[in-house]
Chain A
Amino acid sequence: VLRSLVRKLRGILVRRSMIYAMSALLAASAAWAASSPTTAPGETSKSDLSGYWELAVDSRQVPAAKLSPNVTPADIASHAEGDEHAIRWCNLLGLPWQMDSGRPLSIRQGRHEVLIVSEVQELTPRHLYLDRSKHIGSADFDASTVGDSIAHWEADTLVADSVGFSGTRGITQIPGGGYRTENSHLVERFRLAEQGAVLNVTSTWTDQGVFAVPHTYQYRYYRLPETYEPPPAADCNPYDEERTRFLARKPASDKVSHAQ
């Protein structure tokens, strides 16, 4: 009986040791997946955001924006019209739509910048520069749909700061309400969670002419396997007449109709 007990105890201890060992291996593996291969000059990168990331149906926490009393319905309508124009003519669409375009993002972290590319033809890649701490002056920077972005690490969070936006080009409407202008200031905080399987991105837009208080919302991206192969971007052809007719089609009625 004693020998039998000893054998059982040995078996339990060996199994537990193996479980601990496997747990340690898994933890090491997860830590490696989230680790950074390089350190940017003058920066300490605690994480590597590189990977393919996608939003799912449960990925968005977007409260209603508190708009400035200066914002009129005509302002909102004007920006909505501008957005329709951008879509119709296959213009570059820019931020904030770029971060929720319906297709996965590829984020690639280098020594000097973090690059965010999209599978959409009308989106220009975003460059978050790690190697400078000041924005390009407005005299030298051509306002764009993605602005000028500089970034730094705060512990394991990448903080990106963007200004220099165009107020008229691309899709300007901001999730939750409001729109991008040339005075917009965007701060994004990128942080890995769940052992690198999730990327939380908190976006805060500040613009006194548009928001009564800074407008913050959060996206939660899920990591795709590195073996994921992005399909070719869909062709946006502004000279496609059938597409143009489709976009110009207005709903026949505001009322919802139900089939009998």
Chain B
Amino acid sequence: MRSKVTAAMTLAALASSALSQGQETKAAPQTPASSRIEGDWVREDVNGSGSFEGLDGGIARAQLTPAGESARAAMKRRTLAPLSGVPHKAGEAYVVVDQPCYLPIFFGGALGVNPDSAAIHIVESKFQVVIVPERQGYRVIHVDGRSQPDSTHLTPSNSGYGVGHYDQGTLVSDTVGLKAGPVPGGGWRTPETHLTERFEVSADGQHLTIHYTYSDPKIYLSPHSYQYTFERLRAGSYALEDWCDASDPKERNSVVPQAQQ
């Protein structure tokens, strides 16, 4: 009898041990102590371009299939409006945004994928890494060991569906379900496109490089890669709130240039 009771307790202990082991390897993902991507980051102008357009100037052009070229060209036809070409006088305000404060292209954490000049804030937690751009929304990368869901269950979004894992302290993620749209360097993406990213922090912890690779045989002749580099903001930095009131007429206008002296 004692042996059966002991056996039962041993079984329980083994099960408990197995549970504990399972948590370590599968059920309870842990952020590696060596991972340091959590924090506040702002993009660096590594090319010294000095302009928003120039930030992406060093990216090698994507090699698109005819279908990819066609999708990108259609996007250009839809969005490019002719400029008036009329210079404005000093002190003269003019409408540059028809619908200010309403930028659906930024919704859903879009700037957590390809950040612009505003900072991003990254939190590494159990089960998820969350990237918060200052302008709008947030992006989730699941790190709980899950796989990509069936595409029929995915609602395409501007930040897609990301799953990731740590490779020797480096976060590696795979994202699908991105809404169709342009990609830096003349690329294109659809919900089926796979975006692979590696988040690498420099030895001194002060710089983050995200290596992007888009793979989609329907769009690209070969995978399209580029990288963004970020500088860690100093300790005590905080996330700015991007306030915009669509009722404010000033939001529609240009910055009024001062009269030249």
Q: Which residues of A contact B (CB under 8 A)?
A: 6, 9-10, 13-14, 17-18, 20-22, 24-25, 28-29, 32, 36-38, 48, 50, 85, 88-92, 106, 108-113, 115, 117, 121, 124-125, 127, 129, 131-132, 136, 141-142, 144-146, 148, 169, 226, 231-233, 235, 237-239
Write the chain A residue with the least CB distance to B30: A37
| Cross-chain contact A110 with B123 (CB below 8 angstroms) | yes
Q: What distance in Å separates the Cβ of B121 from its nearest Cβ neighbour in chain A? A: 7
| Cross-chain contact B104 with A235 (CB below 8 angstroms) | yes
| Cross-chain contact B102 with A25 (CB below 8 angstroms) | no
Scan B222-261; emit 1 where CB is below 8 A from any A CB, else 0.
0000000000000110111111111100000000000000
| Cross-chain contact B138 with A25 (CB below 8 angstroms) | no
Q: What distance in Å separates the Cβ of A17 from its nearest Cβ neighbour in chain B? A: 4
- Give the interface size class of chain B: 35 or more
Distance in angstroms between the alpha carbons of A22 and B20 in the assembled complex: 14
Distance in angstroms between the alpha carbons of A248 and B43 in the assembled complex: 42
| Cross-chain contact B240 with A142 (CB below 8 angstroms) | yes
Distance in angstroms between the alpha carbons of A115 and B121 in the assembled complex: 10
Write the chain A residue with the least CB distance to B142: A226
Q: What distance in Å separates the Cβ of A88 from its nearest Cβ neighbour in chain B? A: 8
- The 13 listed contacts between A and B (C-beta, < 8 Å) are A13-B1, A18-B8, A21-B8, A32-B23, A36-B126, A48-B126, A89-B247, A108-B123, A109-B125, A112-B39, A117-B130, A117-B138, A235-B104
Write the chain A residue with the least CB distance to B158: A232
For B240, the chain A residues whose CB sits under 8 A away are 142
| Cross-chain contact B28 with A37 (CB below 8 angstroms) | yes
| Cross-chain contact B235 with A131 (CB below 8 angstroms) | yes
Write the chain A residue with the least CB distance to B18: A25
Distance in angstroms between the alpha carbons of A38 and B36 in the assembled complex: 13
Distance in angstroms between the alpha carbons of A22 and B121 in the assembled complex: 42
| Cross-chain contact A14 with B8 (CB below 8 angstroms) | yes
| Cross-chain contact A144 with B247 (CB below 8 angstroms) | no
Q: Which of B14-68 contact A (CB under 8 A)?
A: 15-16, 19-20, 23, 28-31, 38-39
B137 interfacial contact with A, CB 8 Å:
yes
For A106, the chain B residues whose CB sits under 8 A away are 128, 130, 140
Pick from A22, A136, A231, A238: contact of B236, CB under 8 Å: A136
